[in-house]
Amino acid sequence: MPKYRNQNKTGCVAKTFFGCSALFLIFFVVIILIIISIEIPKIKFTTTERKEYNIEFDSLTHENIINASYSWSFVDNALRNRKYEVNFKLLERDVNAAMDYIDELTSMKYTDLGLQSRFSDPETEARTVWAEVYKRVYNFSVPEMKNVLEGFNKIFITEELAANDKVQFVITFIQNITYGRPGGALDLFPPIGTLAYRYGDCDSKSLLLYTILEKMGIDCAMLWSFNYKHAMLGIKVSARGNYLTTNGKKYYFLETTYPNWSIGQIPPEFNNTRLWFIDEIDAVN
């Protein structure tokens, strides 16, 4: 059945040209005034608009330094419960470079990443693309983490921590970092960005822990799920619980998002291990 159309035109269409122009002009002026009166927030990775951090000028190096302070409690194998306070001094230019690199990755096409332009299904695409992104962010971040690793080593020596305590010390540190979504197209912080802004989401915190533990000699892998939209760390240690295997090695799940998760534990809502990917992002191809 053809649609009925009213032939008696009303409104602006039936008015004179100048009548319509006046209406459009008034409407245009009102819109401009509204736009002028509203501040549209601009999200930039390289500014403090995400969340404030403290900057001081180092007169010796003539560099801007970001002070990232943390405090958390840790119970070692001897059942000593102590509260620790750590202050990382990060070069602002290193943080900016790392955040800019995330922007650079965001603007890359699949072919720029060395990947094919089309995939057979979304799951394969997610697995392939994120493996490449994680690898690139990890490789870019390792040199910038030197001072952070030296800071942890000083604590280990001062506290005379055993090997297992060193690993648990770093794990509890990462788990106690505030959870927050970085935003942006990738919704991802590089490791030094998570430290500077003092918050991060699941894969941002997992990447930070991956970088630290690998330099401590602990074999790690990234774990992520297309179905669950979640990421965790895989850690190759003697443990019990849930794990995935790759290249003949068992990597136990480690939840980094919140405190009090043990190695091998998976939140019940994410416990189907067949829905998880695994990749040794530090592996040399």
Q: SS3 string of 5-57?
A: CCCCCCHHHHCCHHHHHHHHHHHHHHHHHHHHHCCCCCCCCCCCCCCCCEEEE
Q: What is the rounded CA–CA span in Å between residue 258 and residue 256?
A: 6
pLDDT digits (tens, 9 = 90+) for 241-251: 999 999 999 99
Tell me if 66 is assigned to some domain.
yes
**Residue 190: predicted pLDDT:** 97
**Residue 58: predicted pLDDT:** 77
Q: Which positions ≥6 away from 110 have C-beta within 8 Å? A: 116, 117, 129
Tell me if 134 is assigned to some domain.
yes
Output the CA torsion sign for 135, 139, 144, 146. Answer: positive
Tell me if 276 is assigned to some domain.
no
Under 8 Å between Cβ of 226 and 275: yes
Domain limits for position 135: 54-216
Tell me if 67 is assigned to some domain.
yes
- Residue 129 in tokens: 């693309």
**Residue 279: predicted pLDDT:** 97
DSSP 68-101: EEEEEEEE-TT--EEEEEEEEEEEHHHHHHHHHH
**Residue 50: predicted pLDDT:** 55
Tell me if 16 is assigned to some domain.
no
- Model pTM? 0.80
**Residue 51: predicted pLDDT:** 58
pLDDT digits (tens, 9 = 90+) for 79-124: 889 999 999 999 999 999 999 999 999 999 999 999 998 999 999 9
Q: What is the rounded CA–CA span in Å between residue 234 and residue 219?
A: 9
Question: Structurally, how many domains does the chain consist of?
Answer: 1
Tell me if 182 is assigned to some domain.
yes
Q: What is the rounded CA–CA span in Å between residue 152 and residue 147?
A: 9
**Residue 134: predicted pLDDT:** 98
**Residue 140: predicted pLDDT:** 95
The vertex-49 CA angle with 48 and 53, nearest 5°, equals 30
Q: Which positions ≥6 away from 13 have C-beta within 8 Å? A: none
**Residue 17: predicted pLDDT:** 32
Greatest distance between any 2 Cα atoms in the chain: 90
Cβ atoms < 10 Å from Cβ of 161: 19
Helix-strand-coil split of the chain, %, nearest 5 = 40, 20, 40
**Residue 79: predicted pLDDT:** 84
Tell me if 157 is assigned to some domain.
yes
**Residue 60: predicted pLDDT:** 76
**Residue 241: predicted pLDDT:** 97
Q: Are strands 178-179 and 199-200 parallel, antiparallel or unpaired?
A: parallel
Tell me if 30 is assigned to some domain.
no
- Pick out the chain residues at pLDDT < 50: 1-49
Strand order across the 54-58 sheet: 54-58, 63-75, 81-91
